[in-house]
Amino acid sequence: MLHFLNIFIFLLGLCAGSFLNCVIYRLETGKDFCGGRSYCPQCKKQLGFFDLIPVLSFLFLKGKCRYCSQKISLQYPLVEISTALIFLLIFNFQFLISKQFSIFIFLNLIYYWLISCFLIIIFVYDLKHYLIPTKIIYLATIISLIFNFQFLISKQFSIFNSAIVSAANVGLFFWLIVLFSKEQWLGLGDAKLGLLMSLFLGFPKIILALFSAFLIGAIIGLILILLGKKQLKSQVPFGPFLIVGTFLALFWGKEIIEWYLNHLVIF
């Protein structure tokens, strides 16, 4: 039964990823890609059902449009597969662990899936355009705030405080860096993303997410400089690192923090 459920969720994730690609395309061009029939971004030819199956179409067509033979971006299958894997991880880490099924836990699952979708869009968009789309980050922040308010209503004050207090602190911390560096080290978009991450993760996971983001960012930055792909002064978008940190903390945060605290006690 669980296998079928996992397969179903993987397929659902692939379709969600396919939709996210549409949303990204729309953000980039302002053109409606999702409503009505989908078409090839290059030759504008309308695509049939068999051109639109996530991942499989890409493999079957060997990454080229059936009509104009132009290359289809690797972004399409990569976003589809990543979304499917993240959907599966959230289901298995957040949902199955609780072992009880209620409407509340189901809504919880939908919330985590939804915010992850927003994060995937921001990841791709920032990586390509060095810009965090304002509409997406505001929408996600509002949904996350509403979700956190239920803890206030159900009197789970510690969860509510953890999210709100860390959001306030991280928001302020990032905003100060933005202000001092005149947006050279961090953009205003990153500060907004930091706030969303805090609402989504709460304390202490947010600390781990930020730490991992800075660490991975520094390592990748160093590798890019050593390979001669970037100079010390070149711009590297920070949003994707923040989002990788968020997913690390979301899925393995508890284990990493416990491991860290155990080793800290020894020394």
Residues that bind Zn ion (CB under 5 A): 40, 42-43, 65, 67-68
Peptide bond into 204 cis (omega under 30): yes
Rounded CA separation 13/87 (Å)? 6
C-beta of 44: minimal distance to Zn ion in Å? 7
CB 72 within 8 A of CB 1: no
C-beta of 55: minimal distance to Zn ion in Å? 18
In the complex with Zn ion, the residue whose CB is nearer, 37 or 233, is: 37
Rounded CA separation 202/213 (Å)? 16
Rounded CA separation 191/4 (Å)? 40
C-beta of 25: minimal distance to Zn ion in Å? 14
In the complex with Zn ion, the residue whose CB is nearer, 42 or 184, is: 42
In the complex with Zn ion, the residue whose CB is nearer, 43 or 218, is: 43
In the complex with Zn ion, the residue whose CB is nearer, 51 or 80, is: 51
C-beta of 78: minimal distance to Zn ion in Å? 19
Question: DSSP characters for 22-74?
Answer: HHHHHHHH----SSS--B-TTT-PBP-GGG-STTHHHHHTTTB-TTT-PBPPT
How far is the CA of 162 from the CAs of 148, 158, 167, 169, in angstroms?
Answer: 10, 6, 8, 11
C-beta of 267: minimal distance to Zn ion in Å? 60
In the complex with Zn ion, the residue whose CB is nearer, 66 or 254, is: 66
In the complex with Zn ion, the residue whose CB is nearer, 68 or 152, is: 68
Rounded CA separation 201/209 (Å)? 9
CB 14 within 8 A of CB 55: yes
C-beta of 62: minimal distance to Zn ion in Å? 14
